[in-house]
Structure formats: C-alpha cells, structure tokens
Amino acid sequence: MEQTVIERWGVLELSLPGKTEGNPFTDYTILGRFEGRHEDVMVSGFYDGGGIWKIRFMPSWPGEYRYTVFGSFSDRETSGAFRVREASGRNHGPVRTAGQFHFAYADGTPFYPMGTTCYVWTQQPDERIEETLRSLKEARFNKIRFCILPKHYDYNLGEPRTYPFEGAPMDSSVLTKDNFWNYDGKSEGNRFDLTRLNPSHFQHLEKCILSLQSLGIEADLIVMHPYDRWGFSCMPREADNLYWNYVIARFSAFRNVWWSLANEYDLLKDKTAEDWEHYAQLLLQNDPYGHLRSIHNCVPFYDHTRPWITHCSIQRQELYRGAELTNEWREQFGKPVVLDEIAYEGDIQHGWGNITGEELIRRFWEGAVRGGYPGHGETFLNKEGILWWSHGGKLRGESWKRIGFLLDVLRDVPGHGLKYLPAEWDSVCGIPEDTELARKTGYRLYYYSFMRPSFREFHQNDDTLYRAEIIDTWNMTITDAGVHRGRFRVELPARPYMAVRLIRA
C-alpha cells in the first residue's frame, strides 16, 4: 500500500466507523497518539455524524510518523504510518508571537496582521460567501474575525443558516417589539438539545476556514459572544464544556486558526472570571498546537497579563482615543496589541460604526506607527441590508483599498516591526523594534495624522547621509525627497495623512 504523505503543518484526517448507540457526543471518547522523531502528541477526535468518527493531526516537523487511534468509540485500535514532507507555497505554519510585541509564522516568516471583522459571513448564502472571499483577496486582508455561534443584533435579526446544536429555535411570535433587540435566549421557547451538537454547522465552518487558508488568511474564531436569542450565550457548564471541547477537536489542527474566547466578554453577564479562566484551561489542555489566544472587551479590559493570553485584542474604551494609546497598552501588558475594534467606516446610527474612511486609515497608521496592529470594519447602510461587518459580501467604502499599502510599508521596516519613539511632540514616530537595527539604519517613520504641515525640518546628526521619502498614506504614493546631511528641510503638500520616512543612504 502506498504511504500517505502530507505537508508539514498540513492535516492528517482519519475517518473511522464507530458506535452510535445512545448519545455519541457524550457517551464515547476517541483519542489519537501521533509520534514522530521530534514530537509525540495526543489529540482528541470528534463525532461527525452518520456513524463516522474523525481525528485530525497537524505535524510540526518533516519525517516519518506513526499513529494509534483508540477509545470507547470502537472496540478495536487503529494504527498506521505516514510521511511528512516540507511545506510549500503559502504554507508557513501557524502564526505565533515573535519577540515580545509582534507576530511570525512558525517558519520564522514575519506576519503583520491587517485584519477585518465580518461576524457571521459564514452563515450567508453560498454566493455571498464566495463574494466575501473575493473581497478579502482584493483588499489583501490577512486576518478575519468571525463567530462560531449565530448572532442576533441590529441589522442581523434573521435566522442563521445552521445551528450548533440539534433542535429548533422558538416561534418568533415569542419575541416582542420591546425585547427583540436584547432577547437573551432564556425562554423555554427554544428547543435545542444541548447534549447533541449539529455536525453540519461545524462542517460548513471548517470549509470556510480552509477557504481562508487557501488565500493565506488567518481565521480569528470568536468562540462566544453576548448577541444571542437562542440561549447559546447562557448555557450551563456541561453544555459549555461539550461545545468548547468539540470546537477544539474539530478546528485546532488547522494552521490558520486563532482563538478569541469572546467578543465583548464583559457583556456575557452569565459568565464570570472563573468561567473565562476555565475555558482558557480547556484550550491549554486540548489544543496541542498552542494557537494564539485572546479575549475581546466592550468596556473593561480583561487582564491581558494573564499567562494564557498571547496578545491583546482591544476595543477602544473612549469615544475618540484608541489607536493613540497603542504604545501605552504595549507597555502596560507587555504583549502584542491588536486593535480589533477602533470604530468602523460607515453611516449607521451607532458611534462605533459611522466614521469616515479617512479617519479609519488615520487610526490604522496611528496604531501601526506606535507598534500595534489595527483592524478594519465597514458598516454602510444599503437597500440590500447587507453590512460587511456582519454579512460580508461586497466592500463599499474607501479604507479597505488602502490596507495593502500600509502592509507593504510595514514589510519594508528593517527587522521585524515598529515601536514608538517619543521624538517630537507634534508628530508620531516609529522606529524598528530591534534597537541595534534602528541605530544602524537610522530608520524613522514620522506620521502627521490630521495635521497639515507645509514642510518639516530634521536633524539626525551632522555626519550621516539620510534619504527622505514623502508618504501620502491616503493617495498611496511614495515620493523621493532627496538625500540630506545635518539639518535639512522636507517640503510637504499641506494635506492631512502625510508621513516622512528617513533611512541612512
């Protein structure tokens, strides 16, 4: 028999027949041990419906492997061998934190998150899902936040495509005008069996995750959230455990997965700090690959210094300031800062969803120059009632067109990533995170935000030649401003959103 061969950081999936008597989601176990020269990993599998049990493994090294699958799901063990070859193409492995404040793939390739939020794009019709994937590719987003559970909130009040548990929702007549927007799912009208998961819901999700993977896009999975009318936000601990363990078993072998424990954790009033710590322990115990882990706030931050948190996922706490505090949050928490919500470009009634594209890009540059990674969102009203932030589809704004330009600028920074340098009181300055590289290259990126200087004067030292470039962050142009020594002046167009980049000639 020909030996199975998969890529490093690919997925070996084994599908096995097994027991279905009683409740296969609660009555049986399936475990696998995968052994190679450099790793020995134990993983849990899951019931996929139709009498089929699955187990998945993501190898981290090339070479020969053996596996054994066992558990109460079957009366016999299954064993075998496979070979892992080196990764190819877009496959750089899972994203990890790099240094203290940045990210890189497992093979060391730097990763600069330029993400967007699109909460329930996976719950849309197939045509819109395909349109979303095309939009993501065109915009060059490399990360997207979205929910595993269905969502009930403004502009998203219909029934989802599928539900995570077997059963049916309440009759919509139970919902009244007064409670429709904040219904918390606690009525007995919902008829879901919280001991039986719905495999088709998760099969569709993983198809979407793999579609993102093929485009080189990270899937930032929001495991829980408060916007719910079906009762999934206030399940008992037993149901939570069943759901969490199933999600981890199904998705953790995909290299492009990130875990966001919650969107706006502080609005889940039935959950306590002990609950969140418990879910974090489930991840630590059952995800053998150590995917990135975060938890997102509405108002109060979670304690991002907790050791299980790999990076800060932040929603701004003030009406105006957000990206401007990036360097302070880096210092406070000592971890990478991802600004997953600094308000969205759009025109809806909510203050978080009606800033201009210019202002969102300003916040992107402000946060990036200060050493963080801002996130995009879009909420434009339209006759179709399709808002990118919730449904995906077609991007309608202007900010998305400029994300790739910033990504290219970040990739050109010597070394890996920027950090804030308090150089001038009336501009923001970023330098390479590596202090020695910053010294050797003289790299400075000055950003002038909404200010409109007609010129700026510089003096780095009297002995070194510096090349100056003018960056128009909105019009996406880079103009050579010559080579200079000592004190020199750079003429600017007296427009907002300009930057000047200096580097030793």
In terms of domains, do 117 and 237 share one?
yes
Spatial distance between the Cα atoms of 342 and 260, rounded to a whole number of angstroms? 17
CA angle 105–107–111, rounded 5-degree value: 25
In terms of domains, do 249 and 139 share one?
yes
Regions of the chain with pLDDT less than 70: 1, 171-189
Does 357 fall in a domain? yes
Does 16 fall in a domain? yes
The backbone torsions φ and ψ at residue 297, rounded to the nearest 5 degrees and listed phi first, read: -105, 160
Name which of 279, 360, 264, 270 is nearest 315 in CA terms. Answer: 264
Does 147 fall in a domain? yes
Dihedral over alpha carbons 18, 21, 26, 27 (to 10 degrees): -80
In terms of domains, do 397 and 447 share one?
no
pLDDT digits (tens, 9 = 90+) for 15-67: 999 999 999 999 999 999 999 999 999 999 999 999 999 999 999 999 999 99
pTM: 0.96
What DSSP string runs through 359-418? Answer: HHHHHHHHHHHTT-EEEE-EE---TT---HHHH-S---SSGGGGHHHHHHHHHTSSSS-E
Q: What pLDDT is stored for residue 1 in this prediction?
A: 63
Does 177 fall in a domain? no
Q: Check if the beta carbon of residue 329 is closer than 8 Å to that of residue 366.
A: no
pLDDT digits (tens, 9 = 90+) for 334-363: 999 999 999 999 999 999 999 999 999 999
Does 179 fall in a domain? no
Does 90 fall in a domain? no
CATH number of the domain where residue 246 is located? 3.20.20.80
Does 488 fall in a domain? yes
Spatial distance between the Cα atoms of 34 and 411, rounded to a whole number of angstroms? 37
Final residue before a domain boundary, out of 370, 393, 411: 411
| Alpha-carbon 342 to chain mean position | 15
Question: What count of other Cβ atoms lies within 10 Å of the Cβ of residue 164?
Answer: 23
Q: Strands 218-224 and 257-262: what pairing?
A: parallel
Q: What pLDDT is stored for residue 168 in this prediction?
A: 87
Name which of 234, 216, 236, 215 is nearest 224 in CA terms. Answer: 234
In terms of domains, do 66 and 120 share one?
no
CATH number of the domain where residue 496 is located? 2.60.40.3950
What the block records as the tokens of 330 is 């880096």
In terms of domains, do 325 and 368 share one?
yes
In terms of domains, do 255 and 331 share one?
yes
Spatial distance between the Cα atoms of 232 and 239, rounded to a whole number of angstroms? 9
In terms of domains, do 357 and 432 share one?
no
CATH number of the domain where residue 20 is located? 2.60.40.10
Final residue before a domain boundary, out of 59, 85, 111: 85
In terms of domains, do 252 and 148 share one?
yes
In terms of domains, do 158 and 299 share one?
yes
Name which of 432, 429, 433 is nearest 447 in CA terms. Answer: 429
What the block records as the tokens of 477 is 């142009």
- The whole domain housing 494 covers 418-504
What the block records as the tokens of 254 is 């995909």
Does 451 fall in a domain? yes
Q: For the chain, what is the domain count?
A: 3
Q: Check if the beta carbon of residue 403 is closer than 8 Å to that of residue 141.
A: yes
In terms of domains, do 199 and 61 share one?
no
Question: What count of other Cβ atoms lies within 10 Å of the Cβ of residue 310?
Answer: 20
Residues 6+ apart with CB under 8 A from 226: 233, 263, 264, 267, 268, 269
pLDDT digits (tens, 9 = 90+) for 265-320: 999 999 999 999 999 999 999 999 999 999 999 999 999 999 999 999 999 999 99
In terms of domains, do 258 and 116 share one?
yes
Final residue before a domain boundary, out of 389, 411, 433: 411
In terms of domains, do 233 and 103 share one?
yes
What the block records as the tokens of 469 is 């470039």
Q: What pLDDT is stored for residue 175 in this prediction?
A: 54
